[in-house]
């Protein structure tokens, strides 16, 4: 008999709908494990960090939180943020602390158009659309460089600076990652996005590194597009896209646009990867904690379940990842949909349907 493979997963539901969607992804993986005949198991440990923890302790994560997480095979994350805690404290205190501390420098955000879901994009009815946003996840506009001062001046005297940081190493590695990903896709193309006409230092360096790296990938088509034009292109010529590589802020915005075009923010999955595997990678839906619908059992679990599929791929369970993705597609095609995408099913009903469809 072959030995059972064990994958240690740290789950951090955090805030709002985070708990609901992490529970959904967890039960999909439980169902896979049960059906695996003992081939593998997931050893879960849940951590209570987030805004509730902050209210009790004044911290978003335990002091030794990163050390506690270091030995896990992966982190499965919900969403962080609650109206009682300023967003910059919750985001920096937990999510960015983990992404940056674990050097999860590649954030992969697929934009998938699913059957049975109406997209606001007219072309989605007749054109085969899917693309991936690759987000530089360690520096750029979210490097955290800057400061505030002069609070003691009269009147409105405060100043604040926020500098973006672009390094050759950071640009080079995310671009090579994007090119390698493009090589695995039918449409071998990388679109680089900047605002280098207006931001003449960091983003011109980005453009130069892109040109250098692209010479090593002559089989991959390339283009450089300004972020404003790329926003229009997402809507007007999405069939032209395959891999879109952009800085931390630009890709953050573009991937929300992509998921809205696919039908809802609740659909979008994402992987924060440390490709060298020196640290655990982290898998999470793109959406936030959605305080407006939290606790009602109506949030869309598809983004989180899709993120669990990305985690399976990362753990080497490629067939299982495909099974989950196919089950998501079948569920949507059957019209089992939450209300953000025009249905009336609960989170639990959609999750149950995905589990039922795993067998298909
Ligand atoms: N990765 C993260 O943890 C992350 C990302 C974005 C925002 N946030 C935080 O989340 C909080 C709320 O932010 P926001 O309102 O700007 O963004 P949000 O993504 O939480 O919500 C935006 C809109 O999308 C809807 N939505 C989001 N997820 C959904 C789902 N699964 N199903 C159905 N509808 C869904 C919400 O109801 C809301 O109308 C803030 O504290 C913010 O800082 C966290």
Read off the pLDDT of residues 277-307 as tens digits, 9 standing for 90 and up.
999 999 999 999 999 999 999 999 999 999 9
93 belongs to a structural domain: yes
For ligand 1, what atom is nearest to the CA of residue 301?
31
Residue 257 has a pLDDT of: 96
Does 98 lie in the same domain as 41? yes
Q: Which of 262, 296, 315 is the last residue of a domain?
A: 262
Residue 136 has a pLDDT of: 98
Residue 354 has a pLDDT of: 98
Query: The domain that contains 38 carries what CATH number?
Result: 3.40.718.10
Closest CA to 293 of 70, 79, 6: 79
Residue 156 has a pLDDT of: 83
Pocket test of ligand 1: the residue of 15, 83, 290 to mutate, having most ligand atoms within 8 Å of its CB, is 290
Q: At what angle do helices 302-314 and 318-333 cross, to 10 degrees?
A: 160
Task: Count Cα atoms within 13 angstroms, Cβ side, for 182.
Answer: 27
Q: What are the beta bridge partners of residue 109?
A: 133
The 10s digit of each residue's pLDDT in 186-228 is 999 999 999 999 999 999 999 999 999 999 999 999 999 999 9
Percent of the chain with pLDDT over 90: 94
The 10s digit of each residue's pLDDT in 132-168 is 999 999 999 999 999 999 988 888 889 999 999 999 9
Mean pLDDT over 225-243 rounds to 97
In this structure, the residue with its CA closest to atom 6 of ligand 1 is: 288
Burial class of residue 2, CB neighbours in 10 A (0-12, 13-18, 19+): exposed
The 10s digit of each residue's pLDDT in 69-116 is 999 999 999 999 999 999 999 999 999 999 999 999 999 999 999 999
Cβ of 300 closer than 6 Å to ligand 1, yes or no, is yes
**Alpha carbon of 14 to those of 18, 104, 207, 327: distances in Å?**
6, 19, 37, 26
Please count the other Cβ atoms lying within 10 Å of the Cβ belonging to residue 64: 9
- Looking at the structure of the chain, the number of domains it has is 2
Q: Phi, psi (5° rounding) for residue 293?
A: -125, 5
Does 309 lie in the same domain as 242? no
Range of 352's domain? 1-107+268-360
User: Whole-angstrom Cα distance, residue 214 to residue 221?
Assistant: 9
User: Whole-angstrom Cα distance, residue 172 to residue 139?
Assistant: 12
How close are the terminal C-alpha atoms of the chain, in Å?
27
233 is catalytic: no
154 belongs to a structural domain: no
Q: What global pTM score does this model have?
A: 0.96
Q: Phi, psi (5° rounding) for residue 276?
A: -75, -10
In this structure, the residue with its CA closest to atom 37 of ligand 1 is: 290
Residue 1 has a pLDDT of: 58
The answer to whether 343 and 335 have CB atoms below 8 angstroms apart is yes
Mean pLDDT over 176-180 rounds to 98
Closest CA to 4 of 38, 37, 48, 45: 38
Please count the other Cβ atoms lying within 10 Å of the Cβ belonging to residue 193: 26
Does 328 lie in the same domain as 279? yes
140 belongs to a structural domain: yes
114 belongs to a structural domain: no
Percent of the chain with pLDDT over 70: 100
């Amino acid at each position: 008999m072959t030995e059972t493979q064990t994958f240690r997963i740290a789950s951090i539901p955090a805030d709002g709908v985070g708990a609901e969607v992490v529970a959904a992804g967890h039960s999909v993986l439980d169902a896979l494990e049960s059906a695996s005949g003992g081939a593998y198991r997931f050893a879960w440990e849940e951590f209570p960090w987030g805004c509730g923890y902050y209210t009790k302790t004044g911290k978003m994560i335990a002091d030794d939180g990163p050390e506690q997480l270091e030995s896990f095979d992966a982190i499965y994350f919900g969403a962080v943020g609650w109206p009682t805690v300023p967003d910059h404290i919750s985001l920096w205190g937990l999510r960015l602390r983990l992404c940056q501390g674990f050097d999860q420098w590649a954030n992969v955000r697929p934009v998938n158009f699913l059957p049975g879901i109406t997209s606001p994009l007219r072309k989605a009815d007749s054109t085969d659309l899917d693309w991936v946003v690759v987000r530089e996840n360690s520096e750029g506009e979210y490097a955290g460089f800057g400061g505030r001062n002069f609070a003691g001046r009269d009147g409105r005297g405060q100043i604040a600076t926020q500098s973006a940081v672009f390094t050759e190493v950071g640009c080079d590695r995310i671009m090579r990652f994007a090119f390698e990903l493009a090589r695995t896709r039918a449409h071998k193309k990388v679109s680089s996005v900047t605002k280098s006409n207006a931001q003449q230092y960091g983003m011109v360096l980005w453009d130069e590194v892109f040109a250098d790296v692209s010479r090593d990938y002559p089989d991959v088509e390339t283009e450089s597009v300004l972020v404003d034009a790329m926003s229009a292109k997402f809507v007007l010529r999405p069939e032209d896209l395959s891999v879109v590589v952009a800085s931390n802020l630009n890709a953050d915005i573009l991937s929300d646009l992509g998921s809205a075009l696919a039908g809802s923010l609740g659909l979008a999955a994402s992987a924060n990867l440390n490709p060298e595997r020196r640290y655990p990678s982290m898998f999470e839906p793109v959406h936030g904690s959605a305080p407006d619908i939290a606790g009602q059992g109506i949030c869309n679990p598809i983004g989180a379940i899709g993120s669990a599929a990305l985690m399976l791929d990362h753990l080497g369970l490629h067939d299982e990842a495909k099974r989950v993705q196919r089950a998501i597609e079948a569920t949507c095609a059957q019209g089992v949909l939450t209300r953000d995408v025009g249905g009336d099913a609960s989170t639990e009903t959609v999750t149950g349907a995905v589990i039922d469809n795993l067998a298909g």
